[in-house]
Chains A and B, each alone.
Chain A
Amino acid sequence: MAIGWYLTVSALIFSIGAAGVLVRRNPLVILLCLELMLNGANLALVAFSRMWGGEDGQIFALIVMVVAAAEVTVGLGLVVAIYRLRMPIDVDQLSELQG
């Protein structure tokens, strides 16, 4: 398959993830949609790596995976802390940092 097909799929995955981040309000699902966006970027990176014939894109994809794992760990820790404090799990009502 031509590389353009992979790039199209990665663009679609990224856009679906962006729509999810905008539409959903549950922080767990927002984290899942962020994963979708990072995975779309990963697919583009690996596709470019294949296109160019170098492995640098795959290194970049692995680093992105590390960053995603760290982000998920901290995000889920925040969700558990919010749940312990008996606060609503809804990003629209968690607006204490909003000035």
Chain B
Amino acid sequence: MSAVLFFIAAIGALTGAIGVVILRDPFYCVLALAVHLVSLAALFLLLRAEFVAAAQVIVYAGAVMVLYVFVVAYVGGGESLTSGAVLRVLGPLFALALAIELCIAMLGAGLKGVSSKGAPYVLGFGTPAHLGRLFLTQYLLPFEIASILLLVAAVGAVVLARRRRGLEAEGERIDAFLLAARRPAYTGTMAEGAGIRPATQNVDYAIEAERVGSGAGDGTGSGSNQEGGW
């Protein structure tokens, strides 16, 4: 049973990894990575690392994937960029050589444990209680450094991704947007309330809409033209 589960999870993890590398659309790459991460969590469970598997699903497949999806949606798919001819050939060759070398190094190391099924299972191995005790006694310093690292990363991300324009330019853009919106006068719009548009603006909106509608040429209706104009 565990062998079947192992092969299912391993094939899922490897398929997801290959999908990340060869898929063109970054959004599909992110989805392939989600498949990979969930399969990897199953492998962690088979290795009796329960807490690591749960953290993998929550932190990676939950939080980090959401971050990736938001950034891909914000930046856009972009053109499918692959490198030049040299790296396109040398990259996979290098990866193949690396895989063979790693397999030789790890499987041919002569460690007895590599061909065994692992140490005998003791109750509570890999549970949050055991890991938490280790984190707060033996590994307290790495734990605190990790928390400082997360704080620095959060501040750094905010600093890197903030808007660099001042508030003035932003306000002007909002004014222009509100002026562009055609609404009947005396209907209590936000623009009138803020004094951006004079409330006594004397424009016949039926004529105005007709003018905008005929200006587009194909005459698909004034409403859709206004939306396109924004």
**Chain A residues proximal to chain B, CB less than 8 Å:** 1-9, 11-20, 22-26, 28-29, 31-33, 35-36, 39, 42-44, 46-47, 49-53, 55-56, 58-59, 61-63, 65-74, 76-81, 83-84, 89-90, 92
Contacts and interface: CB of A to CB of B under 8 A. Distances in A.
Contacts of B40: 13, 39, 42-43
Contacts of B75: 28, 79-80, 83, 89
A19 B115 contact: no
Contacts of B153: 69-71, 73-74
Interface in B117-168: 117-120, 122, 125-126, 130-131, 134-135, 139, 142, 146, 149-150, 152-154, 156-161, 163-164
A32 B82 contact: no
Contact of A72 (B56, B64, B74): B64
Contact of B72 (A8, A16, A28, A62): A28
Interface string B90-119: 111011101100110011000101111111
B83 interface: yes
B33 A23 contact: no
B82 A79 contact: no
A12 B103 CA distance: 8
Interface in B24-51: 26, 29-30, 33, 36-37, 40, 43-44, 46-49, 51
Nearest to B11: A9
A74 to B, nearest CB: 5
Contact of B6 (A1, A14, A15, A56): A1
Contacts of B20: 16-17, 20, 29, 32-33, 36
Contacts of B95: 15-16, 18-19, 22
B91 A51 contact: no
B17 interface: yes
B98 A15 contact: yes
A39 B5 CA distance: 19
Contact of A2 (B29, B115, B120): B115
B56 A67 contact: no
